[in-house]
Structure 1
């Protein structure tokens, strides 16, 4: 029988280095680990922004085949607006909307007590040692994540020391208790408006991106995905912009390449 704590999963962020497309970059990776079975999910991102947090959840829920009723976190600034005494928190409105969409209850650790998350902090170290050493190399970030995802699936055959059954065998017990996924995933898009200047660049989220020169002085709407963006001006859609990763001052930014 699965006890109540078996219906909890823990989420956290870690950091690593990688070589993407021949460039040395700094990445963040999102982890989610079941308390009961130990089954886990790991995915790398350019940063820890809220859109990446949501994407990590969406992909993790798909990986697990459902939503755990309770998710345990540190006091992430992308989730928590204000910390009160004890466990009470005022969460970001956007995070609360996301939480309500998937119908899970967030539980936040006491400040400075990240060890309350237990296994997931061990997962951060495990993922770094097993998936990020030696420094991983891939042509694209997506290719790296596909490799890590395969490792996560393979881990299901592992039997954790002191347990009689494998990770997947234990997971099959708890899977029936998960909340069903909605038919349509949460719409994890952000939009921003701006004006293209005389140099044919537009400011989006504190970064300037180049556009074709004949769009100078036009108003633009940027639809932002986690790993790519698309611009609209008037009723005409500008070309899709695949991104490449560039390390600047130890941070990872998205450099736009027009197709």
Structure 2
């Protein structure tokens, strides 16, 4: 640009001819003419791709199909051949190779975007990323105050929250709560960020090491297709949205303590409150939260076709009184002392004890414990 400015100066300020400028600067006459008399206005250098995939609507159709398939498991996605055959039925006249080149280009561009996202820690909240944590509230059941463990999931992009009351914070409750919230949401977040919950994490994340998840949680995450993430040590702000929502739900929806029949009743109460709360205008984006959730739905993963059974199996041995320990509580098992080992199957709300011969010795529903006075 310094040479161009010099040519402009000699032409306009010194009033030199094109020949004189060419000789003075030792440049080609055409070059001197181009920069001396033509206006050098910056232009947008947008390279428009050509070809039937870009100039007609075939590219948009294939992009939509590929975007839809990203929500599904690999085995359920369309193959290139399947896409080609479907396009031909719609009147596509291009070749299979043309389609494959377009799909490869689409995926390469997507991979570049994902790689760029991985290399930077973003403070904003992209769609379809969730934060999960436990909180404790109170309720009144059978005339007594009880502690209720609530699993919360928030989507910070839309500021939507889901809450499932549970009898405890063990693995069965945690996985059941996630499953129930995914069903309420109607989809699965691409990423789920948690604290170092014992129900999901064996080894917390350290300064120079990644967190180690339980096999059960990894199997659950694999079934639903989301990426589990663990917060850094002493970094509660990394899931500040869900932590703030714990207090918001407690003070707005369960104060004073509601009178409930069971946990399912409380779950219905919370779901009704949270659904109405989505009519509220987002504090920063100034549109109803419900609208943001509708927008976020297009980024969610699809729910799997097969239901995921949540339970945990353990082998236990009864003491001399015929007792075993379930969630830190001693439970008497009739004839339990007669067997060397008992097969215990625990669900989020109940458990059953089976003898080595397949006989159900005991079955019981769990319930939250009354508060100590």
Task: Tell me the TM-score range normalised by the shorter chain.
Answer: 0.7 to 0.9
Larger Rg computed on CA atoms: 2
Partner of 2:178: 57
Q: How many angstroms does 1:101 deviate by?
A: 1.7
Partner of 1:235: 358
Q: How many angstroms does 1:222 deviate by?
A: 2.0
Partner of 2:212: 90
Q: How many angstroms does 1:198 deviate by?
A: 5.9
Q: Which runs of 5+ in 2 are unaligned?
A: 1-123
Q: Tell whether 2:206 aligns with 1:118.
A: no
SS at match of 2:221: helix
Matches within 5 A, 1:73-222: 73-80=194-201, 81-85=203-207, 88-196=210-318, 199-212=321-334, 217-218=338-339, 219-222=341-344
Q: How many angstroms does 1:220 deviate by?
A: 3.2
* TM-score, reference length from structure 2: 0.60
Q: 1:191 to 1:88 in 2, by over 3 A?
A: closer
Between 225-234 and 194-203, the greater mean CA deviation after superposition: 194-203
Quote the Cα distance in structure 1 between the aligned partners of 2:133 and 2:125. 21
Q: 1:87 to 1:123 in 2, by over 3 A?
A: farther
Q: 1:87 to 1:56 in 2, by over 3 A?
A: farther
Q: 1:163 to 1:86 in 2, by over 3 A?
A: farther
Q: 1:173 to 1:87 in 2, by over 3 A?
A: farther
Q: How many angstroms does 1:52 deviate by?
A: 1.6
SS at match of 1:28: strand
SS at match of 1:241: strand
SS at match of 1:185: coil
Q: How many angstroms does 1:129 deviate by?
A: 0.7
SS at match of 2:307: coil
SS at match of 1:176: helix
Quote the Cα distance in structure 1 between the aligned partners of 2:205 and 2:370. 33
SS at match of 2:295: helix
Residue 5 of structure 1 is aligned with which of 126, 129, 139?
126
More helix by share: 2
Contact conserved, 2:150 with 2:166, CA < 8 A, in 1?
Answer: yes
Between 52-61 and 74-83, the greater mean CA deviation after superposition: 74-83
Contact conserved, 1:37 with 1:167, CA < 8 A, in 2?
Answer: yes
Contact conserved, 1:202 with 1:211, CA < 8 A, in 2?
Answer: yes
More strand by share: 1
SS at match of 2:310: coil
- Kindly indicate whether structure 1 or structure 2 has the higher relative contact order, using CA contacts under 8 Å at least 6 residues apart: 1
Quote the Cα distance in structure 1 between the aligned partners of 2:314 and 2:205. 29
Contact conserved, 1:87 with 1:109, CA < 8 A, in 2?
Answer: no
Partner of 1:71: 192
